[in-house]
Amino acid sequence: MRRYKFQWVIPHSSLSCFLWNTVPRLLYIISTHTLDTSAFRIQRVESAADCQDHIVRFIPTFAVAGEPVVLKCPPFRYGHTDPLDLSLNFTWYKNGSTTPIPSEKVGNRIWSQGDALWFLPAFLDDSGEYICSQRNSSDCTDVSLHLIIVEKSAALSISYPQKAFVQSSGHVVCPALENFVQKDTGYKLRWYKDSTLLNTDNEKFVALTGTNYLIINSVSLDDSGYYTCQLTFDHETGQYNITRTIQLKTLVGQKKKSRPVIVSPNQKIVPAVLGSRLTIPCKVFVGASDRTYADVWWLANQTHVQSVYKKGRVTEGEPQKLIENNDNYIEVPLIFDPVKEVDFNTDFTCVAWNSLGHQVQATQVKPEERPLSWHLAVTPLALAAVIVGAVYIYKCWKNRQLRPKQQNILYSIAAH
């Protein structure tokens, strides 16, 4: 962004004459720069106006303060861009900042590396919303990602829920390690049960080198509780510990199918920019068994989307099957191309159904709150300057009119 520095120099003559020349120029500057206000907005707003897609990820990334964190920008799953396109350019911003996050590692605690944003380590004040802009020669997508950093003492509050069945062989998965380990490497995790280090080479607990799970043989009710896995991560700037906390629930009975549970959207209001593309994913948990399935669809004002939007401006994307921590999910996006004002008065509902039950989640699209444009903020000052200037201009003009009369009076006095 080009910055201009103005220095006002007031001559020794009257203030009125200064304003006579200054006020019109001030008004000219304001009027000629009004159309370029996008340069004074945060980059996310400017980018959203240019991008075809604007995706909001509702499920935040949680991490413990003092540990490494990596945010990954999801690919163009629902856009027109080939996800294998190597010409993609990524730019990262923190919402509220006009400066892109640098891509240089040296001297930076936070840096971007393609589709990844690194925090080495993360601090509490790093919590917030981060914007990833993906571009190539023909398409552009803005993705909003949320990061929440907590104190180590609050690690239990961000634990990952998992379950195991009594009188069977179960396991606990250490999640979200893919950015810190490589496959076929000899990494080994340390496992704790309620803060006690476990012996992972016995008949009860087994942890194999190069794996991210703890095997529990002959699960009992006493095996429920909090498990912590810890990985040592070596980086050129030092050595760090990465911890994940899992809350294990032990259940009596056989593993069975589950009723669907809508994970996201988990908020009733989705901010949107008028005229831009918007994608709202409906993510549904369908169970630990790969045989479990659910039908997922979207409604607009309690009617199927394709019946309301017959011209296809708002559509459902293709269902995506996801596997996370050995759990199965189905994700169906609702795509606006583009967002129009009528959408702000429409109720959208995601529905998930299978033979065991169903769940619905309603949400609404509302205009995104934008910061006040700079020219609107200075308008009152400009008006005040015009009023003050008019007063002094009038005085300056009056003084000029009186000056010849005053000189004639002085000449008459001198003549006498």
pLDDT tens track for 86-136: 567 899 999 877 789 998 887 889 999 989 999 999 999 999 999 998 887
Element (H, E) at 317: none
What is the radius of gyration, based on Cα positions, of the chain? 31
Query: By C-alpha distance, which of 125, 130, 129, 57 is closest to 92?
Result: 130
**Pair of tokens at residue 404:** 């010849």
Could you read off the pLDDT of 250-288 as tens digits, one per residue? 988 765 567 888 988 888 888 888 888 899 999 999 887
22: left (phi over 0), alpha (psi -120 to 50) or beta: alpha
75: left (phi over 0), alpha (psi -120 to 50) or beta: beta
Where is average pLDDT lowest: 66-80, 123-137, 266-280, 288-302? 66-80
Q: What is the mean pLDDT of residues 396-415?
A: 55
Distance between CA atoms of 93 and 100, rounded to whole angstroms?
Answer: 5
Q: What is the pLDDT of residue 17?
A: 40
Q: What is the pLDDT of residue 350?
A: 93
Interior angle at CA 43, CA 134 and CA 270, nearest 5: 75
- Single-letter residue type at 69: V
Distance between CA atoms of 65 and 147, rounded to whole angstroms?
Answer: 12
Residues 298 and 334 sit within 8 Å (Cβ to Cβ): yes
Please tell me the pTM assigned to this model.
Answer: 0.58
Residues 95 and 88 sit within 8 Å (Cβ to Cβ): no
Query: By C-alpha distance, which of 129, 325, 122, 160 is closest to 242?
Result: 122
Beta strands in 170-237 (DSSP E): 170-173, 190-193, 196-197, 205-206, 213-216, 225-235
Distance between CA atoms of 340 and 277, rounded to whole angstroms?
Answer: 10
Question: At which residue do the structure tokens 């019946």 appear?
Answer: 307
Where is average pLDDT lowest: 126-140, 208-222, 227-241, 401-415? 401-415
Q: What is the mean pLDDT of residues 154-180?
A: 89
Average pLDDT, the chain: 76
Residues 231 and 187 sit within 8 Å (Cβ to Cβ): yes
**Pair of tokens at residue 301:** 């004002």
Question: At which residue do the structure tokens 């005085």 appear?
Answer: 395
**Pair of tokens at residue 141:** 């997508």
Beta bridge partners of 288: none
Q: What is the pLDDT of residue 124?
A: 96
Interior angle at CA 124, CA 120 and CA 125, nearest 5: 95
Distance between CA atoms of 282 and 267, rounded to whole angstroms?
Answer: 11
